Amino acid sequence: MDLGVMSGLEGLRAVVLGTEGVLTGPAADGARAPGAGVPPGAWWLLRALEGAGISRAAVARGPGARELLGRAGLAELLDAVVDDEDVARLGPAPTGGPDARPYQEAAARLGVVPGDAAVIESTPEGVAAGRAGGFGLVVGVSGVSGVGGAPAVQGGGDGFARGAGGTGVTGALRAHGARLVVGDLSELLAPRAQEG
């Protein structure tokens, strides 16, 4: 099956993805084989974004996060990576709110303004940073977050799958600014029409 990205992502110029729970999972920590520990849909989404001409970057926070992307076989599908060393060079984090600087730096490295890009994150903090950074779309991934609760996703009339809100992971992601909440990245894929 030939996969593309859902229509809501096609109008964007870039996507900035968090790593933990979005591009890498807990199982990847000791993984040595390419693809090990990669959450559902991650590889396919990066390939579909590439095929649609949408630039891709990762905000790789935590010790060894950049290397983890390489071991998982995802580094070659990214146009830019912002890691902890890059964030340290940005100076002290602002106080009193989410730190959007890593995501804004990733967008800048892709040559786009945040309003022309999406942030995809699995934590309420990451979602809040995407919203504070002025990104055009903020997507929460509920199936891999450590917040707790079951993901609740329903279809929206505009082609977006929307979290039902309320409690648990979905509610937390929506409360922090996610316009769209998906259980995993495969929900951002759509079958591409075959030419012929």
pLDDT in tens, 133-182: 999 999 999 885 333 333 334 333 333 344 444 558 889 999 999 999 99
* Helix, strand, or coil (residue 137): strand
For the chain, where are the E strands, in sequence order? 3-5, 14-18, 55-60, 80-83, 117-121, 137-141, 153-155, 161-163, 180-182, 189-191
pLDDT on residue 152: 36
**Higher-confidence position of 38 and 57:** 57
**∠ CA 12-109-71, rounded to 5°:** 95
pTM of the model: 0.82
> Is the Cβ–Cβ distance between 181 and 22 less than 8 Å?
no
pLDDT on residue 193: 55
Domains of the chain: 3-191 (3.40.50.1000)
Judged against a pLDDT cut of 50, whether residue 118 lies above it is answered with yes
97 — phi, psi (to 5°)?
-175, 180
Which residue carries 């977050």 as its tokens? 145
H helices present in 34-181, as ranges: 42-51, 65-71, 84-89, 101-109, 124-132, 168-175
> Is the Cβ–Cβ distance between 115 and 136 less than 8 Å?
yes
